[in-house]
Amino acid sequence: MKTEKEKMISGEYYNAFDPELVKGRRAAKNLLHSLNVKEYRVTKKAKEILKELIPNAGAGFYIEPPFHCDYGYNIFAGENVYFNVNCVVLDCAPVTIGSNVFIAPNVQIYTASHPLDAELRRTLENAYPVTIGDDCWIGGNSVICPGVTIGKGCVIGAGSVVTKDIPDNSLAVGNPAKVIRKLNQEPESTK
């Protein structure tokens, strides 16, 4: 029989009040308090806190506090990933971020979801993974919804709400975000 944590990570309905999950969130919140309140600046101690909070991050992983997440251990990041201030990652399911990714201020990445049925929603929730490819730039105040994959080399315009997958090398903007052009093509205005 699967644990609630295993159910959570695999996208099944799970009980978020399971003691193991509550303990994991509490541990993350304690580390976030140390990062966001006690350190706040990016110091040697802040880097140590980040390594403990997000153990699956590559070299050059950098976060400007404040930062918020649910667990931390479900964030998998390549090399040279930069989060600007006030980002939120609800990492109930895995959040996989490639290398050389820039994430602007106030970006929110959600894996957490809830049943549409109100009665079921009272006791259970679920989560779907989010993937961001290498060499992406996610513009400020963007929201990436559960289950979305953003391909390599994409730019997501500021304020966008990404509800569906975005193919490689695309510029996507809006609410909901739509691909307005491929990035390896000249814009119409320059032709």
Calculate the alpha carbon distances from 156 to 49, 79, 99, 131, 152 in Å: 29, 20, 16, 14, 12
**Which two structure tokens, joined as six digits, stand for 9?**
């990570």
Using N-to-C axis directions, what is the helix angle for 44-53 and 19-33, rounded to 10°?
Answer: 170
Cβ atoms of residues 184 and 167 within 8 Å: no
Cβ atoms of residues 191 and 172 within 8 Å: no
Task: Supply the residues annotated as catalytic.
Answer: 114
Work out whether the CA dihedral 96, 100, 48, 40 comes out positive or negative: negative
Work out whether the CA dihedral 54, 58, 63, 68 comes out positive or negative: negative
Beta strands 62-63 and 81-83 are parallel
For residue 176, say if its preceding peptide bond is cis, omega within 30 degrees of 0: yes
